[in-house]
Copies of this chain bind each other. A is one copy, B any other.
Amino acid sequence: MHDLDSMFFPKSVAVVGVSNDGMGGGTGFFNRLIKGGYPGKVYPVNPKMTEVQGQKAYPSVSAIPETPDLVIMGIPATAVADALRDCIAAGVKNVHIFSSGFTETGEEKGRILDREITAIIKNSDLRVVGPNCMGIYVPKSNLAPWGNTPKGSGPLAFISQSGGHGQLITEFAQTLGIYFSKVISFGNARGLGAYDFLEYLKTDPDTKIISCYFEGMTDGNRVTRLIREINHTKPVIVWKGGLTESGARAIASHTGSLAGETKVWDAFYAQTGAIRAESQEEILGVTQLFLHSSPPKGRRVLVFAGGGGNSVALSDTCSREGLVVPHISEETRQELNKMIRLEGNSVRNPLDIFSVHFDLKTFSRVLELVSADPMIDMILINRSVSDPENGMFHTDTTAEKRINEYIIEFAKKNADKIPLAIALNIHSHRPSPANSAAKVWLEFAEAGVPVFGSTTSAARAISRYISYHEFQAKEKARN
């Protein structure tokens, strides 16, 4: 059993800074533990109260009759040092400090408090997450004191110096049918840091894919070596914030980290083969491919689309993101010519065959034909979303639904033969089509077909997914 298991799967949690009026910094954590169905014992701590929300409150952690496996601190920065000493006295091992007000404030007062708590942590056996962070979110143990209430647990881990990024990703992910093993928001990292969490996740049987949001990095060489090693077996996706001058300034105000230079981080990506991302959506985009798609043999993508100008735009986008939109083979083209009227269509790549998007029979024949073409490594379907309230885009929704169902079936049946992804084409910002798009999105996502809200995000994710496999193939050849 790993040291950190008692932190991720605690049998009891104490929350310091819980009140009845909702003002205590720990109150939100306390409420969510209860609401989220956390099965262990939860102890509210507040020296000024004997009862909090109907539960007996304790004046300190050391006053609790058992030693809680995890202590969450939501108290003023000035009270953290004493609370840590109390935890040490009580024999506590795992502490999450939510409190902020340290170096990140840029004020001398915060820096002094920071030095004080850092010294206490370093001279103790405490395993501390934070301060200035949201802490730990483990759906499997129903430990979800922040973020979206988990509907399930899954293979993705996210370690993040931003609590906001952590919270948002839990929401975005669930709408793509992606679930987490662990989400760890670790803020200023005065105790445990990236290395410790990565070391745990490396052998964590519940984690298959690791994503990270870093602002700074202490111990960079060791983390780099570890990520390179892990990346051979578990893909590591890294979002590095603050790689611009303005971003680096924002980092100083956020976690007080040093952002580091762009060239250092370029070298990091080049050495580790870690997958780049720049948002929650980009992390989840490439995760969809790792979860649901076999690796394409190469960068040649068949774009199944409609509309001539649209085909040009799709080609430009794929090309800019590093994919190739090649000629299909002459044999395939001749077969397509037999099915598709020449006027107003193009049976080149992209397939500009608008009417076929509402004609299941032809759609399925075309898809089967092109997916067998040896010139093609992957299929990207640019799928329009109809708009029930607008004449121009009010297409045959029954046909649309049947074709979507067919695509899902095809993708599953052919998962090992040819990877397939969907880029939705959304025509409007009005509520009605936004609603339709969200429904179609869920339909594909829940069925495990990689789906994207734009061709740019689809092509970028596919390109990075391929880059990962190219890097690993080179690594293998070298060793």
User: Which A residues have a C-beta under 8 Å from some C-beta of B?
Assistant: 76-77, 99-101, 104-107, 110, 132, 147-149, 160-165, 167-168, 171-172, 175-176, 213, 215, 241-247, 249-251, 253-255, 278-279, 307-316, 318-320, 324-325, 327, 342-344, 346, 348, 350, 352, 390-393, 427-431, 434-435, 437-439, 441-442, 445, 453
Q: Determine the chain B residues whose CB is within 8 A of the CB of A431 once the complex forms.
A: 434-435, 438-439, 442
Task: Judge whether B162 and A325 touch: CB under 8 Å.
Answer: no
Give CA–CA (A270, B160) in the complex, Å. 42
- 10 new A-B contacts at CB < 8 Å, known A171-B392, A242-B312, A254-B308: A76-B343, A132-B344, A164-B307, A172-B427, A247-B316, A250-B315, A429-B453, A430-B438, A431-B435, A431-B439
The 8 Å CB contact of A163, one of B309, B391, B430, is B309
A165 surroundings in chain B (CB, below 8 A): 309-310, 313
With A171-B428, A254-B346, A342-B101 given, is the CB distance from A307 to B246 under 8 Å? no
Please report the C-alpha to C-alpha distance between residue A397 and residue B246 in the assembled complex, in whole angstroms: 32
Contact A249 B348 (CB under 8 A): yes
Find out whether the CB atom of A312 lies under 8 angstroms from the CB atom of B101: no
Chain B residues with Cβ below 8 Å from A100 are 343-344
A284 and chain B: residue at smallest CB distance: B429
Q: Is A428's CB under 8 angstroms from B175's CB?
A: yes
- Asked if B316 and A254 make an inter-chain contact with CB atoms under 8 angstroms apart, the answer reads no
Known contacts being A101-B343, A346-B253, A390-B171, is A247 close to B428, with CB within 8 Å? no
**A438:B427 contact, CB within 8 angstroms:** no
Query: B213 touching A309 by the CB < 8 A rule?
Result: yes
- Write the chain B residue with the least CB distance to A172: B428
- A442 near B429: Cβ-Cβ < 8 Å: yes
Q: For the complex, what is the distance from the CA of A286 to the CA of B167, rounded to whole Å?
A: 32
Known: A100-B344, A319-B245. A309 touches B438 (CB 8 A): no
Contact present for B254 and A171 (CB under 8 Å):
no
Q: Give Cα A60 to B284, complex, Å.
A: 59
- B162, B308, B318, B429: the one contacting A308 at CB < 8 Å is B162
Which residue of B254, B392, B439 is within 8 Å of A312 (Cβ)? Answer: B254
A245 nearest CB neighbor, chain B only:
B319
A243 to B453, CA, bound (A): 23
A300 to B117, CA, bound (A): 37
B172 touches A246 (CB 8 A): no
Residues of B within 8 A of A325 (CB): 246, 249-250
Residues in B with CB closer than 8 Å to A453 are: 429
With CB as the reference atom, state the residue of chain B lying closest to A326. B246
Tell me how far the C-beta of A341 lies from the nearest C-beta in chain B, rounded to whole angstroms. 9
Question: Which residue of the partner chain, among B76, B215, B311, B316, contacts A244 with CB atoms under 8 Å?
Answer: B316
Chain B residues with Cβ below 8 Å from A390 are 148, 171
Give 12 CB contacts A-B under 8 Å.
A104-B346, A105-B346, A106-B348, A162-B310, A171-B392, A171-B428, A215-B309, A215-B312, A246-B324, A250-B308, A254-B312, A429-B441
Give the distance in Å from the alpha carbon of A149 to the alpha carbon of B244 in the complex.
44
The residues of B that contact A253 with a CB separation of less than 8 Å are 308, 311, 346, 348, 352
A167-B392 in contact (CB<8A): yes
Contact B162 A247, beta carbon cutoff 8 Å: no
Partner of A430, one of B162, B175, B427: B175
Identify the interface centre among A246, A251, A311, A435: most chain B CB within 10 Å of its CB: A246
Q: Residues of B contacting A314 with CB < 8 Å?
A: 250
Query: When chains A and B are docked, how far (Å) is the Cα of A313 from the Cα of B251?
Result: 10
Cα–Cα, bound, A132→B307 (Å): 12
Residue from A132, A147, A429 whose CB has the most chain B CB atoms within 10 Å: A429
Structural contact, A427 and B168, CB atoms closer than 8 A: yes
- Check B344–A247 contact: CB distance below 8 A: no
Top 8 closest pairs, chain A to chain B, by CB: A162-B309, A244-B319, A254-B308, A164-B307, A246-B325, A247-B316, A246-B315, A101-B343
**Contact: A438 with B434, CB < 8 Å?**
yes
Of the residues B255, B313, B318, contact of A241 by C-beta under 8 Å = B313
Taking CB atoms, residues of chain B closer than 8 Å to A442 are 429-431
